[in-house]
Structure 1
Amino acid sequence: MGIDTSSVSVLIVTYNSDHVVEDCLLPLPSDSEVLVVDNLSTDLSIEKVTQVRPQAIVIANSSNAGFARAVNLAAEHAHGDYLLLLNPDARIEENAIVTLLRDMETDPSIGIAAPLMTDSHGAFKVLGAGFAPTIKNMALHGFGISRVAPRNQKLEGHHLYRDSNLDSVRELDWVSGGCMLVRRSVWEALGGLTTRWFMYAEDVEFCLRARQLGTKVILDPGAIAVHDFGGSSKDVAGSTNTVWIVNLYDLYCSTMASSRVACLVWKWTVASGFLIRAAAFRLQGIVRPSARRSADANVSRYRAFATALLRAAPARRATRT
């Protein structure tokens, strides 16, 4: 019996995405429902969508409502048994969608499935998938320990790497919302994505809640998607994005931490890891002048992560919104 891709509703959020959304739409199955919520783009995103996929359901927001609110709005209008969250700068072929569907139809305990995400240049080293942002897992990531020994599963942290043990389907704590297939029954049981943040960390939080329900979250390396990270909006500045680490800190303190002390330990542990990595890259730039430019960029990046985290305000306890 073949896999029915008409059971999939693809949910896409655009914001000034006319330069990438065509490549996102073209590979999708012709019988899959496509819903696009546009967050008040000032370019031709909506026109591009209707040109490439005339049958798509397009919802034009009157404001930039953020990622989670826009996805939740799209889900309200979707009819499929499966919801595929897909960034407009990501591309997934029909065969990869079929692979994920087969995983979920074979094992009803799987509630969320994701492909292996790469970029068009094959340069991705850090994957948008891994384990819960506990102090231990964030220390393994922040200090770069899991990067040094990526195939040692005992040392895997918040993120997996391209060199991690990906020889078969992996059951994880979270996968990226940039390309995530969700069983509708799980989506409805969880009430969709939290709108606590404008964007970033809502996919981690969603997956953790799914795990609490007892449903599996998997990454199938046999399904491949391409994501040119940061290309979904032409207005994205070139400065280092630190929102992700601040939101993860908020997620940990609001839903996972046992006390305020635990929050402080998390903050200082992760920030220390980033600062040590910055120092290591500074040394690399001195020892290897040929690598000075890339080393300096990494010094700035990790210092920015640490600085933003140390400045982050104490988190408030989470409430479902």
Structure 2
Amino acid sequence: MSYTPKVAVVILNWNGVKYLRQFLPSVLSSIYPNLEIIVGDNASTDGSVEFIKNEYPSVRIIQNDDNYGFTGGYNKVLEHVDADYYILLNSDVEVFPGWIAPVINLMESDPLIAAAAPKIRAFNQKSHFEHAGAAGGFIDSYGYPFCQGRMFYEVEEDKGQYLQSGEVFWATGAAMFVKKHCWHEAGGFDDRFFAHMEEIDLCWRLKNMGYRVMYCAESEVFHLGGGTLNVENPFKTYLNFRNNLLLLQNNLPFWRAVFVITIRIWMDLLALIRFLSEGKRKDAWAVSRAHQNFVLSLFKPSKKNKKLNVPKKYPLKGIYKGSLVWTFFVKKKRHFTELDPTDFL
């Protein structure tokens, strides 16, 4: 009799009882023979824990004593979870009964596959991909993340153009499958990120260690998005700009990081000017704060990546060698399928 890996779906919650009420039933309908459903709670005050205890007593609850964000929250919760695979699932994701097995089967096919994600489509526009993950994540040579199915603000309709599973650069944290031993070997999330781009940092770290990250086209979920921080929130702007710089600092060789970060800071200043021209002063200030915080962070680099500061022996598949900004805004190539495959590592 073959062994069935144990899988733990872990939903991190902070004052999201309305999302648990709407989406948790679909997660509980998941069909997989060795499965545990867990909600990790970041000290919610909206009755989330009481709701789960009363309505879904079979769901295990792990409670944190404070709101540690997405990164710290998961780091603390997963210390108490025993499974072969973790599935980090946002509370605003709708799933279907058979969504788990295709991804696990893909990951079981190769011991070097550390993380993977299903296809992510938009809950409110189900014909289209969802911004946060679409059909697998990539990154350009200047640190701009994008996806099959989403480049900057351009989100594609799913017309079957990404039906092939394959290696990508990063898997979205909205529905990330990761092998337990890989998670712990890499040290989990970098707590400094709090939220946003932490999954890209983790995947980059895993790739630097010689592991692979995959997109599984045979599984799909629907993500509402913006459940905690909507796109108009200046704090989200701050996190995106600050964390993108941390991402480069953490994972690039030193002199390459100096070069790329210098360019990115100037490009970010252009974004700041654009925000001001559009009357978005809070977003402009968020960019400035992001730069200030990043400079301060240079004096306390991440401990997680120190042990990985060695010559990289592995090809980091999924990097676009050009500039996505130039390709998108100047050359007007708005879809992933328009990019030249030879321009990727």
**TM-score, structure 2 normalization:** 0.70
Pairing 1:97–2:100 present = yes
Q: Structure 1 residue runs of 4+, over 6 Å off?
A: 156-160, 275-279, 299-302
Q: What is the rounded CA distance, in whole Å, between the counterparts of 2:263 and 2:303 in structure 1?
A: 23
| 1:126 is aligned to 2:120 | no
Q: 2:217 aligns with which of 217, 221, 237?
A: 221
| 1:318, distance to aligned residue in structure 2 (A) | 2.5
Report the CA distance shift for 1:126/1:232 in structure 2 as closer, same or farther (over 3 A).
closer
Tell me, yes or no, if the aligned pair for 2:245 and 2:294 is still in contact at 8 Å: no
* CA–CA separation in structure 1 for the residues paired with 2:91 and 2:219: 18
Mapped contact 2:64–2:77 kept (Cα < 8 A):
no
- Going from structure 1 to structure 2, the CA distance change for 1:127 and 1:200 (only over 3 Å counts) comes to closer
Q: CA deviation at 1:261?
A: 4.4
Q: 1:239 to 1:70 in 2, by over 3 A?
A: closer
Tell me the secondary structure at the aligned position of residue 193 of structure 1.
coil
Q: How big is the shift at 1:61?
A: 1.8
CA distance, structure 2, for counterparts of residue 207 and residue 218 of structure 1? 10
Offset from partner CA, 1:231-278 (integer Å, 9 cap, x none): 247xx7953421122111122124325254432212223553x47987
Partner SS state of residue 71, structure 1 = helix
Query: Paired residue for 1:318?
Result: 302
Distance in 1 (alpha carbons) for counterparts of 2:6 and 2:108: 11
The amino acid that maps onto 2:20 is: V
**Residue of structure 2 equivalent to 1:198:** 194
CA contact (8 A) 2:130 2:155 kept: yes
Segments of 5+ residues of structure 2 without an aligned counterpart are: 306-345
Q: Residues 272-311 of structure 1 correspond to what in structure 2 (within 5 A)?
A: 272=270, 274=271
The 5 A counterparts of 1:94-173 are 94-122=97-125, 124=129, 126-128=131-133, 129-132=136-139, 134-135=141-142, 137-138=143-144, 162=156, 166-173=162-169
Deviations 1:111-160 (A, max 9, x none): 1110111221225563434224631x52xx6xxxx89xx78xxxx97999
Distance 2:208 2:65 in 1: 35
Root-mean-square deviation (CA, aligned residues, Å) is 3.6
Partner of 1:48: 51
Deviations 1:85-113 (A, max 9, x none): 01111222231111111111223332111
Q: 1:261 to 1:191 in 2, by over 3 A?
A: closer
Gaps of 5+ in 1: 283-295
Secondary structure of the residue aligned to 1:20 is helix
Q: Counterpart of 1:196 in structure 2: which amino acid?
A: R
State the alpha-carbon separation in 2 of the partners of residues 44 and 132 from structure 1: 39
Residue number among 22, 30, 35 corresponding to 1:32 in the alignment: 35
Moved more, 101-110 or 78-87: 101-110
